[in-house]
Structure 1
Amino acid sequence: MLKSSDDPVASEDWKGLKEIDRAIAENRLTAYKWKKTWADPWGRAAMVTVFTLLTAYVIFVIINDLIL
């Protein structure tokens, strides 16, 4: 039987589900922000620049540590 929402024991029973619901909501918000940024020309340029710089840095570190 379901308990009323003002019962403190009921909130403990559903704590895990509330965390899952919150994670799903945050993921949707994050996905929306990425899509919105990708649709904006300046945002797309910034994302491409940042990811290019990060990739170049990772390649530099790998070459510097393993080869040189």
Structure 2
Amino acid sequence: MSTTDNPETSSGNSWEGLREIDQAIAENRLMEYRVKKAWADPWERRGLLVFAGLISAFAIYAFICDVIF
């Protein structure tokens, strides 16, 4: 049996990332996949934390302004 039976391995390209995305879509967990990938990147993690901090700060500011005024 030759190694050309599987077209993915015959060209030498592995396409691991695409298989992972395809599996995530099939299992209906694409959002979980995106969040895990974003959290793994240090710059995106910082961006997510800054964004969450800004939203929290605005919510606290709006609550305080609503209560005081």
Please state which structure has a larger fraction of its residues in helix.
1
Indicate whether the TM-score tops 0.5: yes
Which residue is 1:48 aligned to?
A: 49
Structure 2: give runs of 5+ residues left out of the alignment.
1-24
Q: How does 1:23-42 map to 2 (within 5 A)?
A: 25=28, 28-42=29-43
Scaled by the length of structure 2, what TM-score is found? 0.59
Aligned-residue identity in percent: 39
CA distance in 1, matches of 2:32, 2:49: 17
Structure 1: give runs of 5+ residues left out of the alignment.
1-21
Which stretches of structure 1, 4 residues or longer, exceed 6 Å deviation after superposition? none
Scaled by the length of structure 1, what TM-score is found? 0.60
Considering only aligned residues, what root-mean-square deviation do their CA atoms show, in Å?
1.6
